Amino acid sequence: GEDVEQSLFLSVREGDSSVINCTYTDSSSTYLYWYKQEPGAGLQLLTYIFSNMDMKQDQRLTVLLNKKDKHLSLRIADTQTGDSAIYFCAESTNTGFQKLVFGTGTRLLVSP
């Protein structure tokens, strides 16, 4: 199956860390991604992780992957009000084309 689930909503204060979680069911996933969508806009790729890695750090972003539990998380350090957006995890498999299956999306609200 290709179900990708996320919690709906997360609220944090500016300067705190945010952790957004994602669970997926397709064990053949090759790459897992985090996208950000601001209101009325398209999607922006934030980071990705290959399925044989368990952690990736990119400036304020840390991605953790637990392949056994099919659990992916995105930690944003020092969260800013500009980080308020909807965050989608997505998975793709090693087929010929980059067919992305998106998670349900988490709305992050950062308050001053």
Partner 1 sequence: DTEVTQTPKHLVMGMTNKKSLKCEQHMGHRAMYWYKQKAKKPPELMFVYSYEKLSINESVPSRFSPECPNSSLLNLHLHALQPEDSALYLCASSQDGNGGDLEQFFGPGTRLTVL
User: How many chain residues bind partner 1 (CB under 8 A)?
Assistant: 22
Q: Does 9 bind partner 1 (CB under 8 A)?
A: no
13 vs 99, which CB is nearer to partner 1? 99
23 part of the interface to partner 1, by CB under 8 A:
no
Q: Which amino acid is at 11?
A: S
Of residues 44-83, those binding partner 1 (CB under 8 A): 44-45, 48
C-beta closer to partner 1: residue 45 or 77: 45
Please give, one letter per residue, the 3-state secondary structure of the chain.
CCCEEECCEEEEECCCCEEEEEEECCCCEEEEEEEEECCCCCEEEEEEEECCCCEEEECCEEEEEECCCCEEEEEECCCCHHHCEEEEEEEEECCCCCCCEECCCEEEEEEC
Q: Which of 26, 31, 61, 62 binds partner 1 (CB under 8 A)?
A: 31
The residues that touch partner 1, with contacts defined as CB under 8 A, are 4, 30-31, 40-45, 48, 88, 94-100, 102-105
